Amino acid sequence: MIVVLGTFDLDPEDRDRFIDSKRAQVEHTLTEAGCLDYGFSLDPDDPGRVRLTERWESMAALTAHVAALRAAPQGDRGPRVRDHAISVIDGELVEGLFG
């Protein structure tokens, strides 16, 4: 399983507009082959941060997603992001640890 964890830092007053600007992207991505989970969320401790969480069946599925994002028309990209960090983790699912 591939896990993507990201943060986007922006002005706190732009956070909700950033989330709104990603709604269509989230809806579309959730229908892509190999997408297990995809979403943006507000950081409860930092009013200027949005978190990204993705889970993919394979690196090939994530690579296809990134290629599609880069090829898509770049309409309104939402508010200006001051900084961002994205980590991609290739890992093995461990079940039953918390259940």
Give percent above pLDDT 90 in the chain.
Answer: 81
CA 13 to chain centre: 20
What residues contact 91, with CB distance under 8 A and at least 6 apart? 1, 2, 3
Domains of the chain: 2-90 (3.30.70.100)
What's the rounded Cα separation, in Å, for the pair 59 and 64? 9
Give percent above pLDDT 70 in the chain.
Answer: 97
What residues contact 80, with CB distance under 8 A and at least 6 apart? 10, 11, 14
**pLDDT tens profile 83-94:** 999 999 999 988
| Residue 99: predicted pLDDT | 72
| Residue 68: predicted pLDDT | 92
pLDDT band with cut points at 50, 70 and 90 for residue 76: low
Q: Is 22 helix (H, G, I), strand (E, B) or coil?
A: coil
| Residue 93: predicted pLDDT | 87
Please give the residue that has the higher pLDDT: either 26 or 73: 26
**pLDDT tens profile 30-53:** 999 999 999 999 999 999 999 999
